Structure 1
């Protein structure tokens, strides 16, 4: 029996040209009296990219969107839905998705809105867009994500400045009819408000961002140190629940794409799942781009495909975590479309 599914049929990524390697970052923090080498080794950082002053989430997102449409061999006029996922939007009004639609030429996309679920944004948005597409029979949707963290970073902040990077990524989602499961299959979520103050941006709140009685660093990104040693175990629980519900075990998953924040956390969750620390089983690109929040799973996916880690018929788990904290994950079945077959 044929059923409706939603698959990824095009990918496009963009990172700025301004690359900073660890030597530059280490020297920068030495001038602030800080040694960050052990922290960045723990996270897995080597390089990151920062936007030029004239670049925005809109300009970067438009480039990624055009690349995704080209990859899918899709005319922009065929897109019926466009969503912009970001926690560093360029505008509060109008919706950034509308501006990207104007830049890209998706003139027939009339379902147009912004979406923010912090670092789980891409994973959560794909899951929710897929459900809408199936229900409303939307043939093509374009999901665009941007992170422009550098303007919000205090230059003495070893978490935001140096550990993160600016970037954009986009996917074309396509509604297909198939007798066998393909594309997004299932999802699982978890949230816990215990660490609601772990990171805030702006730290002052938007209502006081222009209050000059507050020091400028207070009006940028702020965070409180939190031990995230519990996170791999929470990922472990969600992944086991989701795979079991779909009649497979974690050992039958062909590839994992996690949040790119920490290589150490990825290795720990693989151990918790009873799996090997084998780079063929997961993809980490946080060393190449810094942590890019929303967009990081798509950077991971593009590299996994380019490196031949994902094959036709493979089952892949995507999983990320966001501030506060929230976790989202989904199960995906690949076919040859995205793999060039």
Structure 2
């Protein structure tokens, strides 16, 4: 029904290495950081660089050898938009010189955003509203992080990924499994910035409400509780088994969590892709970045079935299967 026909991504020029962090936090060695989260460096957006700027970069790469006039819808996933209004997707349409008779919308999701974006794209294509969709996941979480928050600074990086999702009747018609539990909302949150903060501010964490707060242990507990069941559900709903899947690509949260999930779900190591060493956790962009890197390495080939799973802030989670 739908197929990902092209993936490109953009990483900011500024690089923050583990050695850089070690200089700021001598109690944390660069080796310890890599061992803990599987990251040696992450890219950081410059002071004046936004999700829109990065989206333009990744999207222009997509349009190399592709007719941009085919695009009939933009889906833009971000939790750090340039403005409350207007919609970043609308500005992107103009900046890219796309047709004006197209749809364009932002949606606010984090680490599950890419899977949800594919679900939205499938809905638009199935309904006959669009056939060639530009799905963008762009995030600058590092702008939300306090300079002294060494845990989150070790983990997160900035990036934008642009993906072409197109109608393809030869591709499998796979079901999506989506989930939500807003009871865990405060475990990963930026309190300041929305209208509620202006009138009902009640900060609960040391760096203040304008900075990213993450309750790591609770996020880990949520993940190990929900995601194994999500993977089973996605396989069962599509009448497939682990043996039928060529690769499993999860949101690249951190290597410790991913390896725990792999063991818990009994996925063979050779089918489970982990590679966030040079980029860090780029939130909604991690899955498309991983897929592009797999293509570059020759791992992802035509005919492969890949199970994608995203999970995190919200709480929100989703999984589906894609043919490549």
User: Structure 1 124/85 Cα, relative in aligned 2: closer, same or farther at 3 Å?
Assistant: same
2:4 maps to which residue? 8
Please list every run of 5 or more consecutive structure 2 residues that lacks an aligned counterpart in the other structure: none
Cα pair 2:72 2:103 within 8 Å, conserved: yes
Q: Which has the higher helix share?
A: 2
- Is structure 2 residue 314 aligned with structure 1 residue 314? no
Per mean C-alpha deviation after superposition, the further-off stretch among 324-333 and 268-277 is: 268-277
Within 5 Å, which residues of 2 pair with 1:104-253? 104-178=96-170, 181-182=171-172, 185-203=174-192, 205-208=194-197, 217-227=208-218, 228-229=220-221, 231-253=223-245
Residue 233 of structure 1 deviates from its aligned partner by 4.8
Partner SS, residue 99 of structure 2:
coil
TM-score (structure 2 length as normaliser): 0.90
2:278 maps to which residue? 288
Q: Distance in 1 between the 2:50 and 2:110 partners?
A: 18
1:25 maps to which residue? 21
2:95 maps to which residue? 103
Cα pair 2:30 2:40 within 8 Å, conserved: no
TM-score (structure 1 length as normaliser): 0.86
Q: CA RMSD in A?
A: 2.5
User: Structure 1 210/307 Cα, relative in aligned 2: closer, same or farther at 3 Å?
Assistant: farther
Cα pair 2:19 2:30 within 8 Å, conserved: no
Partner SS, residue 294 of structure 1:
helix
- Is structure 2 residue 50 aligned with structure 1 residue 60? no
Per mean C-alpha deviation after superposition, the further-off stretch among 218-227 and 245-254 is: 218-227
Cα pair 1:186 1:332 within 8 Å, conserved: no
Q: Aligned pairs, how many? A: 321
User: Structure 1 105/319 Cα, relative in aligned 2: closer, same or farther at 3 Å?
Assistant: same
Q: Distance in 2 between the 1:266 and 1:169 partners?
A: 21
Per mean C-alpha deviation after superposition, the further-off stretch among 39-48 and 89-98 is: 39-48
Partner SS, residue 76 of structure 2:
strand
Please list every run of 5 or more consecutive structure 1 residues that lacks an aligned counterpart in the other structure: 335-341
Residue 92 of structure 1 deviates from its aligned partner by 1.0
